[in-house]
Amino acid sequence: MQSLGQRVFLAIERAFSTFFGERLNPLYYLGAIAYFLFWVAVATGLYLYAFFETSVVQAYASVEALTHGQRYAGGLMRSLHRYASDALVLVIVLHLLRHFAFDRHRGFRWFSWVSGVVILWLTYASGINGYMLPWDRLAQFVVTATTEWFDVLPVLGGAMARNFISNANVSDRLFSLLSFIHIGLPLSVLALLWVHTQRVPGAKTTPPRPLWIALLLTLTLLSLIKPALSQAPADMGTLVENLNFDWFYLPTYALIGTWGATNTWFFVLGATFVLLFLPWLPTRFTRGARVWSMAVHPDERIVDVRAGETLLDAGLREGLPMPFECRNGGCGVCKCTLVHGEVRLQAHQVFALSQAERAAGKILLCCAEPLSEVELTYVPLPGARAQPVKQYVAQVTRLELLTSDVMQLDLKIDGGASLAFHSGQYINVLLDGDERRSFSFASAPHTATAIELQVRRIEGGRFTPTVFDTLRVGDSLRIEGPLGAFTLREDSHKPIIFVAGSTGFAPVKSMLEHAFHTGLQRQMILYWGVRSRSDLYLGTLAEKWAQDHPNFRFVPVLSMPSPDDGWSGRTGLVHEAILTDFPDLSAHQVYACGSVHMVQAAQPAFAQRGLASDDCFSDAFHLAPQKPVHGSDAEMVQLGGSHG
């Protein structure tokens, strides 16, 4: 049923796009159009309310005076009120159907779906209540049918309908009550709309200007051609055979006439139950409840993508300035390049993403659900800024000299807060004058309350000498993070080769400790390249890992060992040691963290040995001339914090 719905929607949308264009296709703005129609109904309703008389005798007369006495004001307003309300039901139902057809009602979207169903019912209640106010034959029918319908419920037993059994029973107070309800119900619709929309990142609540202008003109023309009119005045002493019926709001009443009140209750409650629980019904897509991570360039951020969430939804939720327009796979504005990973593309228009583009690694953010950890790059909206990364004040809890020029700096965020991050990411230390210094997390994510950094002293630098000379335990630093798209990919079974150069050991330590913590069973080898033995500042820790974890090996490589080192291990450049050990790298993944020179030398050499570009990860690679994404600060990251 859903695939049929998708085909129908796609076909109509494709046809509409040929003359509306992709950016003004009304079917891509059903939610926003519903908002607009609601506001039209509210604005016109306020005008009508100013002239409406809340009494038995005057209710009908005042509406007639509005309709005929001021045809191009009150009459027009009444018609607009009627038609906007009718169109609102139509658009809400289409909106609901589209989300159901495209399976966009499951997972985290359950809240929007359920609130949407409640909004639909409240909209019905508002409209039905509105039909009671003009006190014409239709109002008489609606009041009688409604009270009779409710009277079949236990306890009431006929008490409600008796209030409308004769003209004498209907009092002026009824109209005050009905007016009150007719204000209260739309207010509750508005409140729910707000909640409904707040949960949708980047939700549009206003259709494009040409669209709402055209819509308003259409409704105005309809109002002029076929004004909304009252039927004969209500008279409880008689019934008319035929009623001009509003089939947008009153189909339930036709059902009551056919099936009876009790059966209609069962149908309505059953349908509501089914609608409310649709998000939890089994699906043919087996996504599971897995949360995947999405590494994003040029933002250099890693965002979690929840089960059932599109990449666009996840990005917008995190405040990334991702481009989008229709959100329905029709305009192609959210096209981007998938650098790594797999996605499932929901149904979309072929003209928005051609087969050739798909083959070239392009995807539509609004239709892509991750099937693995993904990395992508997109062109941000012109002038748009990503939501700033969260800033914290952190206290220094530990300063330990690891070697003569590397300091372990432990931080704890004030207030006991934790900073959720992915292994391999980094933070910025904020300095006066809006300067920043970046350092990779050396600790694993599961110890997020204790942030460990490894700081190499850079002579003449602005920050690192202070870490060695003046910074004390208890001092405070301002930091921001997490940042960086470099992280451990856990969606592969290939053996991992970590290549660390100098303090590039810090992010590798974070990734390895995370891997040990999560019980990753893949084979892992760490090649740590330094100049001399004293630079292996945590070599004993790496050796202990090798003893404790059978799937891990540690290979230290010294480039310039001194005679005093008494070194009998591997020597030379670290990437050359790997090339010696692995004639074929096609079945491996490589994570390289070190100087730009090291990474740039290693990348082509590894590729020649069969390492797929999809299996080679390093921030330094992004600094290569063909991918300049993050300015000079990025260099600090892969160096594990060696910037001054």
Binding residues for other proteins, rule: CB under 8 A, are 14, 16-22, 26, 82-83, 86-87, 90, 141, 148, 151, 155, 157-159, 161-162, 165-167, 214-215, 217-219, 221-222, 225-226, 228, 235-248, 250, 253-254, 257, 349, 351
Q: How far is the CB of 84 from other proteins (least distance, A)?
A: 9
The residue among 338, 335, 339, 299 whose CA lies nearest residue 319 is 299
Q: How far is the CB of 501 from other proteins (least distance, A)?
A: 49
The residue among 500, 467, 384, 481 whose CA lies nearest residue 425 is 481
Q: What is the dihedral of CA 4, 9, 14, 17, to 10 degrees?
A: 180
**Which of 27, 488 has the CB closer to other proteins?**
27
Q: How far is the CB of 242 from other proteins (least distance, A)?
A: 4
Tokens coding 373: 């950890």
Distances (CA, A) of 594 to 496, 530, 587, 599, 623: 16, 10, 22, 7, 12
For residues 310 and 367, is the Cβ–Cβ distance under 8 A? yes
Q: How far is the CB of 545 from other proteins (least distance, A)?
A: 56
Tokens coding 269: 């409650």
**Which of 183, 255 has the CB closer to other proteins?**
255
**Which of 141, 463 has the CB closer to other proteins?**
141
**Which of 208, 465 has the CB closer to other proteins?**
208
Q: How far is the CB of 559 from other proteins (least distance, A)?
A: 56
**Which of 24, 542 has the CB closer to other proteins?**
24
**Which of 220, 418 has the CB closer to other proteins?**
220
Q: Does residue 298 have a cis peptide bond before it, meaning omega lies within 30 degrees of 0?
A: yes
Q: How far is the CB of 377 from other proteins (least distance, A)?
A: 24
For residues 17 and 20, give the distance between their C-alpha atoms in angstroms, rounded to a whole number.
5
- Kindly state the DSSP code that residue 233 receives in the 8-state scheme: B
- Please give the distance of CA 450 from its chain centroid, rounded to a whole number: 29
**Which of 54, 230 has the CB closer to other proteins?**
230
Q: How far is the CB of 622 from other proteins (least distance, A)?
A: 33
**Which of 194, 245 has the CB closer to other proteins?**
245
**Which of 163, 391 has the CB closer to other proteins?**
163
For residues 579 and 602, is the Cβ–Cβ distance under 8 A? no
**Which of 126, 638 has the CB closer to other proteins?**
126
The residue among 596, 585, 436 whose CA lies nearest residue 496 is 585
- 239 CB-near residues (< 8 Å, 6+ apart): 140
3-state DSSP call for residue 120?
Answer: helix
The residue among 291, 368, 302 whose CA lies nearest residue 337 is 368
Q: How far is the CB of 167 from other proteins (least distance, A)?
A: 6
Other CB atoms within 10 Å distance of the CB of residue 261: 16
* Residue whose structure tokens are 């990449």: 311
Tokens coding 273: 């139950």
- Kindly state the DSSP code that residue 389 receives in the 8-state scheme: P
**DSSP letters for 445-502:** GGGTTSEEEEEE--TT-SSHHHHHHT--TT-EEEEEEEE-S-----S--S-EEEEEEG
**Which of 141, 621 has the CB closer to other proteins?**
141
For residues 562 and 607, is the Cβ–Cβ distance under 8 A? no
**Which of 19, 72 has the CB closer to other proteins?**
19
Exposed/middle/buried for 541, CB within 10 Å: 0-12, 13-18, 19+? middle
Q: How far is the CB of 243 from other proteins (least distance, A)?
A: 5
**Which of 206, 218 has the CB closer to other proteins?**
218
Exposed/middle/buried for 446, CB within 10 Å: 0-12, 13-18, 19+? exposed
Q: How far is the CB of 288 from other proteins (least distance, A)?
A: 35
For residues 5 and 200, give the distance between their C-alpha atoms in angstroms, rounded to a whole number.
23
Q: How far is the CB of 325 from other proteins (least distance, A)?
A: 13
Question: Taking the CA of residue 183 as centre, how many other CA atoms within 13 Å lie in the half-sphere pointing to its CB?
Answer: 10
The residue among 291, 294, 314, 310 whose CA lies nearest residue 302 is 294
